[in-house]
Amino acid sequence: MTGPLILGLESSCDETGVGIVRGHELLANEVASSVEEHVRFGGVVPEVASRAHLEAMVPTLERACAAADVDLSELDGIAVTAGPGLMGALVVGLASAKALALALDKPLYGVNHLAGHVAVDLLDHGPLPQPCIALLVSGGHTSLLRVEDMARSITELGSTIDDAAGEAYDKVARVLGLPYPGGPVIDRAATGDPRAITFPRGLTAGKDQERHRFNFSFSGVKTAVARWVETRQRDGEDVPLADVAASFQEAVCDVLSAKAVDACLATDTPALLIGGGVAANRRLRALLEDRTAAHGIELRTPRPALCTDNGAMIAVLGSAVVSAGGRPSSLDIGADSSLPV
Ligand code: KG4
Ligand code: ZN
């Protein structure tokens, strides 16, 4: 295998990720998550996440170098997430990458986290079909992107106007008395009838759909589930968990899959890629498989471990930037919590 040997550091949320790739070949992908420390708060606490990154960065880097059997002196470059994400968390990754770049005299590449979610599928399924549409769904972001060239040209078609999809899962889990993070728990609990309760599908009808064709809204469905549960409890009735979870999940995944396929059709784009923690969802994957097949759209789904935040996605994006002749970043590059793609 050929291509540049790139180290990737990721620290935008609660995962400290260190990946090493050579070209499109994955050599190491070590992740330390602080998720357990956030459980009792029901969501990521930025200050706690930043401290955890500080503690985890060096041991995770050492594990990645050992797994890849690579010495840092052999690297061709260091890629790091410059944004978007939590400011204090991003700063830890950037400071670490700058220190390594300076000490080792290697070029530094500050890259976009969302573009990393797009690039990572290369490691599983080879070169991306370009152009493609990317549906990125996690606890922090929900976006539809049109990817002309992942290293140089990505356009955001739309995004959530309120909660991210994963955030809605996490909040609904709380309402149902289920632990954080709620996505995988609701995915498993959703064994009931998805048509038992009709929860709202945000921005899919009338003027909303016209104005927000590629945008999402999940605060309505979250509130509807909370009201529904409150009413049942007030009336002293049981809450049928399996049905509520399945019906909520159906509302979210129906909208995500319909809008993603609509984006492919509207922009005449024959391939769809998914990424982010919610992309691990089984119902979302099943709906996307059916709906893309119905329109002859190629569906690219990275394995779940590459869908969630990790360093390999940053490393492989860095490798693509280097291969495309991208210029290194200056050592005074700053973190940007709302960096656009
Ligand atoms: O990408 P990720 O690990 O971190 C960021 O938020 O950036 O995504 C975590 C989110 C959480 O909100 C979690 O509840 C959700 O992804 N999630 C899922 C599933 N697995 C994780 N949501 C639905 N179904 C799942 N199977
Ligand atoms: Zn992410």
pLDDT for residue 157 is more than 90: yes
Residues 135 and 84 in one domain: no
77 assigned to some structural domain:
yes
Confidence of residue 42 (pLDDT cuts 50, 70, 90): confident
Indicate which ligand has the atom closest to the C-alpha of 14.
Answer: 1
27 assigned to some structural domain:
yes
Number of domains into which the chain is organized: 2
Indicate which ligand has the atom closest to the C-alpha of 280.
Answer: 1
Residue with CA at minimum distance from ligand 1 atom 18: 183
Of 16, 222, 278, 287, the residue with max ligand 1 atoms within 8 A of its CB, to mutate for a pocket test, comes to 278
The answer, yes or no, to whether any atom of ligand 1 lies below 6 A from the CB of 281, is: yes
- CA dist list (Å): 341 to 69, 116, 132, 147, 193: 33, 10, 15, 10, 38
201 assigned to some structural domain:
yes
Q: What is the dihedral of CA 203, 207, 209, 212, to 10 degrees?
A: -80
pLDDT for residue 186 is more than 90: yes
Range of the domain at 14: 5-120+310-323
Please tell me the distance from the alpha carbon of residue 299 to that of residue 301, in angstroms, as a whole number. Answer: 6
Residues 293 and 153 in one domain: yes
Which atom of ligand 1 lies closest to the CA of 165?
Answer: 12
Q: Find the helix or strand (DSSP H, E) in which 20 lies.
A: strand 15-22
Taking residue 210's Cβ as centre, other Cβ atoms within 10 Å add up to 9
pLDDT number for residue 1: 60
Q: Find the helix or strand (DSSP H, E) in which 232 lies.
A: helix 219-234
Residues 228 and 140 in one domain: yes
pLDDT for residue 280 is more than 90: yes
| Region 305-326 average pLDDT | 96
Q: Kind of pairing, strands 108-112 and 271-275?
A: unpaired
pLDDT for residue 73 is more than 80: yes
Please tell me the distance between residue 329's alpha carbon and the centre of ligand 1 in angstroms: 30
Residue 4 exposure: Cα atoms within 13 Å on the Cβ side: 23
| Region 127-133 average pLDDT | 96
337 assigned to some structural domain:
no
pLDDT for residue 43 is more than 90: no
335 assigned to some structural domain:
no
Is the separation of the CB atoms in 272 and 264 below 8 Å? Answer: yes
Can you give the length of the chain in residues?
341
**Surrounding residues of ion ligand 2, Cβ less than 5 A:** 138, 309
Please tell me the distance between residue 50's alpha carbon and the centre of ligand 1 in angstroms: 19
Q: Find the helix or strand (DSSP H, E) in which 201 lies.
A: none
The answer, yes or no, to whether any atom of ligand 1 lies below 6 A from the CB of 143, is: no
Please tell me the distance from the alpha carbon of residue 3 to that of residue 126, in angstroms, as a whole number. Answer: 14
Percentage of the chain lying above the pLDDT 70 cut: 100
12 assigned to some structural domain:
yes
Residues 98 and 152 in one domain: no
Please tell me the distance from the alpha carbon of residue 281 to that of residue 32, in angstroms, as a whole number. Answer: 22
Query: What tens digit of pLDDT does each residue of 84-123 get?
Result: 999 999 999 999 999 999 999 999 999 999 999 999 999 9
Please tell me the distance between residue 30's alpha carbon and the centre of ligand 1 in angstroms: 18
Residues 150 and 181 in one domain: yes
pTM, 2 dp: 0.95
330 assigned to some structural domain:
no
The answer, yes or no, to whether any atom of ligand 1 lies below 6 A from the CB of 169, is: yes
Residues 20 and 62 in one domain: yes
Q: Which amino acid is at 231?
A: T
Q: Which amino acid is at 73?
A: S
CATH of the domain at 33: 3.30.420.40
250 assigned to some structural domain:
yes
Query: What tens digit of pLDDT does each residue of 172-183 get?
Result: 999 999 999 999
Please tell me the distance from the alpha carbon of residue 275 to that of residue 165, in angstroms, as a whole number. Answer: 12
Residues 295 and 149 in one domain: yes
The answer, yes or no, to whether any atom of ligand 1 lies below 6 A from the CB of 309, is: yes
Residues 77 and 152 in one domain: no
Please tell me the distance between residue 86's alpha carbon and the centre of ligand 2 in angstroms: 11
